[in-house]
Amino acid sequence: MENKEIWLETLITNSPQEGRELAIKMARKSIATIQTNAETRNNMRSDYANDTAQLIASANVIAIEFQTIAAANNYWKKQ
């Protein structure tokens, strides 16, 4: 966890679509932080690509990230 790159400046997005894209990026960055070896991550892709339970778990992580982003954006309600 030595990487000090600032890639998440804000949770504020212009639209729900941008929010979902940010949620996916956040989930992917979390995996890269947890499993720092890119070769290992690549080798594991075939395992979870064909495992419905792991794919559903991944979708749940994205959904949780999206909930956080939506709340930060007041659910994109007009002010």
In a domain, 9, yes or no: no
In a domain, 33, yes or no: yes
In angstroms, rounded to a whole number, what is the distance separating the alpha carbons of residues 36 and 30? Answer: 10
Per-residue pLDDT tens digits for 6-60: 999 999 999 999 999 999 999 999 999 999 999 999 999 999 899 999 999 999 9
Count of structural domains within the chain: 1
Checking if the pLDDT of 1 tops 60, the result is no
Contact assessment for residue 27 and residue 58, using Cβ atoms and an 8 Å cutoff: yes
In a domain, 11, yes or no: no
Q: Which of 22, 6, 7, 5 is nearest to 71 (CA)?
A: 22
In a domain, 3, yes or no: no
Contact assessment for residue 78 and residue 17, using Cβ atoms and an 8 Å cutoff: no
Q: What is the pTM of this model?
A: 0.86
- In total, the chain counts a number of residues equal to 79
Domain that holds residue 49: 16-76
In a domain, 4, yes or no: no
In a domain, 35, yes or no: yes
